[in-house]
Amino acid sequence: MKMNRILRLLIMFFLLANYGCKKDDNPANSSTQETPTLIFPVNSSTNIVLKPALVWNKVENAASYNLQVSAQVNFSNIVQSYSNITDTSQTLTLLSPNTLYYWRLNISDGKNVSGWTKPFSFTTGKDSVVQINFNWISVEGSSFLMGSESGDPDEKPVHNISLNNFSISQYEVTYDQFDLFCDATGRMKPNDNGWGRGNKPVTNVSWNDAADFCKWVTSQTGKTIRLPTEAEWEFAAKGGILSNGFLYSGGDSLNEIAWNFTNAIGSTHDVGTKKGNELGIFDMSGNVWEWCGDWFDETYYSYSPSVNPKGPLNGTQKVIRGGSWASFTVPGGEGEIVVNGCRVTDRSNSDPSVKSADFGFRCVIEE
């Protein structure tokens, strides 16, 4: 019996040494084998734009992602391939219309590469890109005096600025336009506050959201679309070279040209329903605050470049301009307006991640 016990122990040690403690050489069990979840386009989607943004979830241990797109389910014909992607989305170059495609991902943790995800499929539509009409208004470059000596401290000193030609959207970006971006990228649509969508200015969008929208439109059109610089915004709001020196964008009577606290009844209104300014641009005073591309510095005017300024190199807050449906006036002294975000020179700022019911934006296209 003792010999049998010894024999069983020897056999057990042998098995443990050769099998129980054997290193797992199967890469499917390594940490890199956690693969992303494909998000957009959802599997079997149809009528997808020809430059879609493919989106997936973030994997914690992933250093980068690799993406393949094929016209064959076995990926024998790779039509587009991307390596070392560090983001969780990738906008493709132009695909063929009315064509079935498959896409898949794997990840790298810097040492090992995972297996491929189960592929998703989508079928493109007939249109080359999403069509968004911005009604671009050409703004002839010139020199102008930026700021106000009678305004807030951050509006001083008044300083001379020279700008190149640019074009700016006639209206604030609407829900209809922003929703196209969301539909094309699988992004969650912003809340409309119960006020309706359609032709109302999009709200509850952060600076980051607005910048992503511009990047997406750029990818669709091949033209550089971006947020306006603060200087471009003020020059356009003042009416460019046609400026009449109004307090607000298009006039001195606030209710005539802007949806504000006294007439908006607590909500946004369809874009372009108030009087435009000298260039035919609408709602640069009131309706929604508009994100600009610049970082904010209250002392920036004291050291700003005089030609095409783009704001400080860094910061924590982004510039917002133009006031909103919630803006109001506080008269002081002999009727001087001392508080009103709708003034064309008024400056304000917010964290780029903030989303608000009175924050929106408009776009600029580089010429």
Tokens encoding 24: 């797992």
Question: Residue 115 is which amino acid?
Answer: G
Q: Which residue has the tokens 């109001």?
A: 328
DSSP string over 104-165: EEEEE-SS-B-PPPPPEEEEE-S-SS------EEEE---EEEES-TTS-GGG-S-EEEE---
8 A C-beta contact, residue 63 and residue 108:
yes
Torsion 140-175-179-83 (CA) sign: positive
Q: How far apart are CA 227 and CA 365, in angstroms?
A: 9
Q: State the SS3 of 294-305.
A: EECCCCHHHCCC
Q: List, in sequence order, every residue forming a beta bridge with 124; answer none if it has no partner.
A: 48
What's the confidence (pLDDT) of residue 228?
Answer: 98
Q: How far apart are CA 170 and CA 132, in angstroms?
A: 13
Residue 186's CB is within 10 A of a number of other CB atoms, namely 18
Residue extents of the structural domains in the chain: 28-124, 136-365
**Percentage of the chain lying above the pLDDT 90 cut:** 74
Output the CA–CA distances (angstroms, integers) from residue 120 to 52, 102, 211, 226, 317, in the order listed: 14, 6, 28, 32, 39
Torsion 191-197-200-202 (CA) sign: positive
Measuring CA to CA, which residue among 201, 219, 193, 182 is closest to residue 289? 201
| Domain 28-124 = CATH 2.40.50.140 | no
Per-residue pLDDT of the chain in tens (367 residues, 90 and over written 9): 444 444 444 444 444 444 444 433 333 334 446 788 999 888 998 888 888 889 999 998 899 999 999 999 999 999 999 999 999 999 999 899 999 999 999 999 888 999 999 999 999 988 655 678 999 999 999 999 999 998 899 999 999 999 999 999 999 999 999 999 998 888 899 999 999 999 999 999 999 999 999 998 988 888 899 999 999 999 999 999 999 999 999 999 999 999 999 999 999 999 999 999 999 999 999 999 999 999 999 999 999 999 999 999 999 999 999 999 999 876 654 444 434 789 999 999 999 999 999 999 999 998 7
pTM (whole model) above 0.85? no
8 A C-beta contact, residue 321 and residue 234:
yes
Tokens encoding 298: 């209250």
DSSP state of 173: P
- Helices 175-185 and 207-221 cross at an angle (nearest 10°) of 70
Return all residues near 166 (Cβ < 8 A) that are at least 6 apart: 139, 141, 228, 232, 364, 365, 366, 367
Tokens encoding 3: 């010999």
What's the confidence (pLDDT) of residue 330?
Answer: 67
* CATH of the domain spanning 136-365: 3.90.1580.10
What's the confidence (pLDDT) of residue 338?
Answer: 38
Cα 25–chain centre separation: 44
Measuring CA to CA, which residue among 215, 190, 189 is closest to residue 89? 215
Cα 198–chain centre separation: 19
Conformation bin of residue 59: beta by default, left when phi > 0, alpha when psi is -120 to 50? beta
Phi, psi (deg, nearest 5) at residue 225? -110, 135
